[in-house]
Amino acid sequence: MQRRTFLHHSGLLAAAVSASGPAVLASPSVPKAKNKLPKWKGFNLLDFFSPNPAQARKATQEEQFKWMRDWGFDFVRIPMAYPAYLKFDRSRNITPDEVYQIDEQAVERIDRLVSMAHKHNIHVSLNLHRAPGYCVNAGFYEPYNLWADQKALDAFCFHWNFWAKQYKNASADKISFDLLNEPSMREDMNDQLSKRSSVPGAVYRKVALAASEAIRKENPKHLIIADGNDVGSSVIPEITDLDIAQSCRGYNPGIISHYKAPWANKDPENLPTPKWPGQVGEKYLSRAMLETFYKPWIELVNKGVGVHCGECGAWNKTPHDVFLAWFGDVLDILTSNGIGFALWEFSGDFGVLDSRRADVAYEDWHGHKLDRKLLNLMARY
């Protein structure tokens, strides 16, 4: 799986990598606030990640939910591309009117996935990875801009109202709604390499408030989560009064999480070899810089806002021992502050199954290749 969402264009990576300030975890003499969100831990499932159903992943099987539960996990995030559950002529670009054409058969497939998770007592976070007018990835023509066009915002609210109706009778313990994957401003919504910037706080608030109202028309008790600004990296102070939780990321620094990833590096074959901790190029990578990076998120928890890490992990070219050493620090910082996490992904290049790493002695697991060391690390938290 080529994970495309951590792009160097955000400008945040270099700043985060260079940080090496003091530890920022709460002093033992100061009681930590309890996270309003459960400390869920689990995986992203990519069954509906592609906007084209013909290019969809192999469907997650029920036995895989049983494995998750038996291994101690209680959470799955389902990042969906809205075109995956629409009916329209895919030989041409979608029109604004066609954004409303729900394919009930596709919805049934999504519902089967959700139902399997619920059968095994696993919480489901539904996420629009691609929403009308925005996606962190290119690869599908958007007819408008979610941040600028009212028609796009109307369609966004329509989709969230639809999903709220679909799960109106589901307990808030079983399902939650993650509004939009990794928001940012982009000059051209259909050019992944066009200039990026933060979503202005007032604009983010307008979009989040409208979508949350569309959801709560159906069930005011549904939990709503907003991904951090700047493709998931930054706290959104403008929405802390809206009873909306926030989701951070576990991809910092990118030289670890996206080593040699061609979608995240201009020259992927000529990168300094990652170490953890250690000097990598001109930067010294350490736990201290992670603590600095997560400080605003920990402060958000202490202010009474729920926080979860909706995505984390490393692509399969990162040396395994380096990945595990770094990831252990990420998980320790998050979970010691009551913040749960979801690995990107369950099965695939970032996953515990079938990650195709060259330096792992895999365990055969029901026809899959299991990264037992990664699984054991995650299970400890």
- Is 336 among the domain residues? yes
- 371 inside domain: yes
pLDDT for the residue numbered 31 = 59
pLDDT of residue 63: 98
pLDDT bracket for residue 194 (50, 70, 90): confident
Give domain status of residue 14, yes or no.
no
In a domain, 231, yes or no: yes
Q: What is the mean pLDDT of residues 158-180?
A: 96
For residue 181, is it within any domain? yes
Nearest-CA neighbor of 317 among 276, 375, 356, 278? 356
If you average pLDDT over residues 197-218, what whole number do you get? 97
CA proximity to 281, closest of 265, 263, 296: 265
pLDDT level of residue 189 (50, 70, 90 thresholds): confident
Strands 278-280 and 283-285, sheet pairing: antiparallel
- pLDDT tier for residue 341 given thresholds of 50, 70 and 90: very high
* Most distant CA pair in the chain, distance: 62
| Domain extent at residue 306 | 41-380
Q: How many domains does the chain have?
A: 1
Give pLDDT, residue 294.
Answer: 98
Phi and psi at residue 167, in whole multiples of 5°?
A: -120, 30
Query: Taking 70 as the threshold, does the pLDDT of residue 51 lie above it?
Result: yes
Structural domain contains residue 101: yes
**Could you tell me if residue 197 is left (phi over 0), alpha (psi between -120 and 50 degrees) or otherwise beta?**
beta
pLDDT of amino acid 164: 97
Query: What per-residue confidence (pLDDT) applies to 300?
Result: 98
Residue identified by tokens 């403008």 is: 238
In a domain, 30, yes or no: no
What is the mean predicted confidence (pLDDT) over 62-66?
Answer: 98
Contact status, residue 98 vs residue 49, Cβ threshold 8 Å: no
Determine, yes or no, domain membership for 5.
no
C-alpha to C-alpha distance for 291 and 299, rounded to whole angstroms: 12
CATH of residue 310 = 3.20.20.80
- The pLDDT assigned to 191 comes to 85
pTM for this model (two decimals): 0.90
